[in-house]
Structure 1
């Protein structure tokens, strides 16, 4: 009787682990973010002039994104927000593989204040974000 009860408990635990593992995988984006930065420019596929504060006379800024361990071809959206209001969305491809670098640019038109760039996976879930300010 004790052996059967023990086996039944082990079976329930195994099912619980399998179910929680499956739901965790469904919520994962299928890649990891190794870099997410805002910069003045991109040179030779690398961000230059990294900053968290930009001057209002700057015409545009770049958000550089590097993903690792991409399980399958997918896409991400870089969503630019100013003072909490969505201003622009750029959809970018990610190819399956060990590493993928990409970027998007945004004209800031002298809009001072707090900016944020959210990374959203193919299902629209927020998987990362970076913030900067324009003064």
Structure 2
């Protein structure tokens, strides 16, 4: 019995005194693994790389409509997509590049008389995950 107590005391002492492996017990900062879509808007124009006149209804007379997006917490160069739909039919898909740590990007659609009606743009990541849907209309 005495030998068992001594053995247990030696084992407990070894585990309490022995150093931890390198890095064990340290708090390490972990970078977010996913980017964040921080701003998305449809607008009439882009000036100085900023959206101008954001809206949800646009006149056909503008001739063009823009989708503006800003992403934060980008950890590596990656791609996103702006998918333009008219009446639930995919009209155009724009592949856009994002670079760390923050990036804004735009796409646009040239308007024709037949483009009046409901539209939306789906903003998706490289894995086709929907990040946001922006609905808007083209009117006279």
5+ long unaligned stretches in structure 2:
1-31
Deviations 1:28-60 (A, max 9, x none): 982111111011110000000111001122211
- Aligned residue among 100, 108, 113 for 2:111: 108
In 2, the alpha carbon distance for the partners of 1:29 and 1:88 equals 29
Is 1:41 aligned to residue 45 of structure 2?
yes
1:63 paired to 2:67: yes
What secondary structure, in the 3-state scheme, does the structure 1 residue paired with 2:61 have? Answer: coil
In the alignment, the residues of structure 1 paired with residue 124 and residue 33 of structure 2 have an alpha-carbon distance, to the nearest angstrom, of 9
* 1:1-135 matches, cutoff 5 A: 30-97=34-101, 99-110=102-113, 111-135=115-139
Structure 1 residues 64 and 29: CA distance shift in structure 2, 3 A: farther
Structure 1 contact 29–121 (Cα < 8 Å) conserved:
no
- How many residues end up aligned between the 2 structures? 107
2:41 alignment partner, SS class? strand
Cα 1:120–1:47 shift into 2, 3 Å: same
SS at match of 1:57: helix
2:33 and 2:47 mapped to 1: Cα distance? Answer: 28
Q: What TM-score comes out, normalization by structure 2 length?
A: 0.72
Q: 1:88-132, CA deviations, whole angstroms, 9 ceiling, x for partnerless residues?
A: 0111001121x2111011112131111100011111121111111
